[in-house]
Amino acid sequence: MPDISGFSAGVSIVVFSPAKLNLFLAITGRRADGFHDLVSVAAPVGFGDTLKIEPVAEGFSLRCDEPALEIDETNLVLRAARAFAKASGWTGGANFTLEKRIPMGAGLGGGSSNAAAVLLGMNRLAGHPLDAARLEELAAQLGSDCVLFLRDGPVVMRGRGECVEPLPPAAAARLRGRRVLIFKPSFSISTVWAYRQLAAGAPASYLPAAEAEARLAAWLAGDSTAEALLLNTMEPPAFTKYLALPVLLDVLRARFGLAPRMSGSGSACFALLAEDAAIGEITACIREHWGRDVFVVETRFA
């Protein structure tokens, strides 16, 4: 069983914890267990958090440079650490230091990504006692989005998000390396609130599973660009309350010919960029509408 007794003092590893974007997100209905079923294409990007893991004799602790982040036992980093220890027989502890760059309440999967980074990092430190399937089981127990971060590249998600398979190579090639601009207003959107709004508007707020699968299958079978895939059925409730989102996205479409969308339950949005696109004017437009403190980052799909 894994034991840190063999580690020398000061041994640590650093794990990259990427953000994700939902290019295609169809919420198809509510399940008996209260969760929602979905069909989604999600992809990690080259922007994210950094997690340092230092094995210690006992106990788990978390430090973070983002003061707004709760670092108590409810944090997914510590929950993932305890889940790994229980599943693997890890007998020691670990100190975690999280450099937080992914904004919270954005729909970018920051917390889920951090949990996956813990599982991957601790498994590496312990000599890989858990195989990929067991790690995915643990990730699914921690959160619906966690499993996708254990995969290297774009995926198709089903169920409540825990049923994950890689995007076919030809389709993934249409996404990998694409330039993308991510931007988030100063406000966040509660995921719980967003799903409650969908449930309140049911059944009209859901896209039937057969229709969602048909739309995805058509894109997979063709050779259309990533822009043709874009869909998010969580936009209507968010846009109804947070008017700043649709107003800016409409401006970006009209002024720059972009196809911007919201990611996940929001509030972060994104726009795919051509290789020769100059983002200065686009960024200026975003700040004009959402203020100087808006979060903006350019990155690429992994």
Q: Are 198 and 153 members of one domain?
A: no
Q: Are 263 and 164 members of one domain?
A: no
And the tokens for 79?
A: 């929950």
Count Cβ atoms below 10 Å from residue 159 Cβ, excluding itself. Answer: 16
Q: Are 178 and 30 members of one domain?
A: no
CA distances from 173 to 125, 212, 214, 238 (A): 32, 22, 21, 31
Q: Are 124 and 177 members of one domain?
A: no
Residue of 37, 49, 100, 145 marked active site? 145
pLDDT tens series, the chain, 302 aa: 333 433 444 588 999 999 999 999 999 999 888 889 999 999 999 999 999 999 999 999 999 999 999 999 999 999 999 999 999 999 999 999 999 999 998 999 999 999 999 999 999 999 999 999 999 999 999 988 899 999 989 999 999 898 999 999 999 999 999 999 999 999 999 999 999 999 898 888 999 999 999 999 999 999 999 999 999 999 999 999 999 999 999 999 999 999 999 999 999 999 999 999 989 999 999 999 999 989 999 999 99
Residues 224, 173: Cα–Cα separation, whole Å = 11
Number of domains in the chain: 2
Active-site residue, 20 included: yes
Last residue of a domain, one of 144, 168, 192: 168
Q: Are 17 and 84 members of one domain?
A: yes
And the tokens for 166?
A: 């890689």
Residue of 20, 37, 100, 184 marked active site? 20
110 near 49, Cβ under 8 Å? yes
Domain that holds residue 257: 171-300
Q: Are 163 and 258 members of one domain?
A: no
Last residue of a domain, one of 140, 168, 196: 168
Q: Are 150 and 238 members of one domain?
A: no
Q: Are 26 and 75 members of one domain?
A: yes
SS3 of 278, please? coil
And the tokens for 165?
A: 């398979």
Q: Are 19 and 158 members of one domain?
A: yes
Q: Are 144 and 197 members of one domain?
A: no
Residues 225, 217: Cα–Cα separation, whole Å = 14
Q: Are 30 and 161 members of one domain?
A: yes
Last residue of a domain, one of 106, 138, 168: 168
Rg, Å, the chain Cα set: 20
Residues 183, 97: Cα–Cα separation, whole Å = 25
Residues 87, 248: Cα–Cα separation, whole Å = 46
Give the CATH number for residue 236. 3.30.70.890
10 Å CB burial of residue 257 (0-12, 13-18, 19+) is: exposed
Give the CATH number for residue 135. 3.30.230.10
Active-site residue, 241 included: no
Q: Are 196 and 140 members of one domain?
A: no
And the tokens for 91?
A: 């007998």
Q: What are phi and psi of 119, to 5 degrees?
A: -60, -45
